[in-house]
């Protein structure tokens, strides 16, 4: 993985490709301003520190739980989470198949059961944060949520898929209707080929 200075990765689709669930206008603010600001902040903060020689994942793991470097962790975590979020969506989203579908059935009882549990977790996440599908240290799939810049990566879990439930991820398109956004997100945009690749 590249070290500092970090850059904003190119989106894997056009700005309007995820409409109507995520509009081009939302992308312009979320990706073009929020995500970019985390990249700019981290590049500025790591200059002259040991973190300057680390890649993004190393920075997250080294700065996690370190109050002195909380700002570095927050910006690094937000960059990684957003990088992962953009890949977690696809204009060709829909029903999972193959190995990932089998894993969902084994862990949750089926795709419909997973969708319901994931949506409930995402809606219940208080304030700003993320809803994740992860593979735990025991190899089993589970749903977890994190607040703000926290990420399962910092806790030794393997991330498969993530939905962003910060208000700036959906407010222009759904206003305060987070449940509607999450339902549409998991049913229409979830990138199951990406999740299966992460499953290993």
Residue 115 lies in a domain: yes
Query: Tens-of-pLDDT digits for all 200 residues of the chain?
Result: 678 899 999 999 999 999 999 999 999 999 999 999 999 999 999 999 999 999 999 999 999 989 999 999 999 999 999 999 999 999 998 889 999 999 999 999 999 999 999 999 999 999 899 999 999 888 889 999 999 999 999 998 999 999 999 999 999 999 999 999 999 999 999 999 999 999 98
Half-sphere exposure of 104 (CA within 13 A, CB side): 22
CATH number, position 128: 3.55.40.20
Q: What percent of the chain has pLDDT over 90?
A: 92
Could you report the per-residue pLDDT of 87-133, keeping only the tens digit for each? 999 999 888 999 999 999 999 999 999 999 999 999 999 989 999 99
- Collapsing DSSP to helix, strand or coil, 121 comes out as helix
Dist CA 151 CA 108 (whole Å): 22
- Report d(CA 86, CA 191) in Å as an integer: 10
CA distance 75 to 56: 10
Residue 176: inside a domain: yes
Residue 1 lies inside a defined structural domain of this protein? no
**Number of compact structural domains in the chain:** 1
15 part of a folded domain: no
Signed CA dihedral, 48, 54, 60, 64: sign only: negative
Distance of alpha carbon 36 from alpha carbon 31, whole angstroms: 7
Q: Name the DSSP class of 195.
A: H
């Amino acid at each position: 993985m590249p070290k500092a200075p970090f850059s904003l990765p190119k989106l894997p689709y056009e700005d309007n490709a995820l409409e109507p669930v995520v509009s081009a206008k939302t992308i312009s603010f979320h990706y073009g301003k929020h995500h970019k600001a985390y990249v700019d902040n981290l590049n500025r903060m790591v200059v002259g520190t040991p973190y300057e020689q680390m890649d993004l994942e190393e920075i997250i793991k080294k700065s996690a739980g370190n109050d002195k470097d909380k700002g570095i962790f927050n910006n690094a975590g937000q960059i990684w989470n957003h990088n992962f979020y953009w890949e977690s969506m696809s204009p060709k989203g829909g029903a999972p198949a193959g190995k990932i579908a089998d894993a969902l059935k084994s862990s949750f009882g089926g795709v419909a059961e997973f969708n319901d549990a994931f949506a409930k977790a995402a809606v219940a996440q208080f304030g700003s944060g993320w809803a994740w599908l992860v593979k735990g240290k025991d190899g089993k799939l589970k749903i977890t949520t994190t607040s703000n810049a926290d990420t399962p990566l910092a806790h030794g879990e393997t991330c498969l898929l993530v939905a962003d439930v910060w208000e700036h991820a959906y407010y222009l398109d759904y206003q305060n209707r987070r449940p509607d956004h999450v339902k549409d997100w998991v049913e229409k945009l979830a990138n199951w080929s990406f999740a299966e690749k992460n499953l290993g």
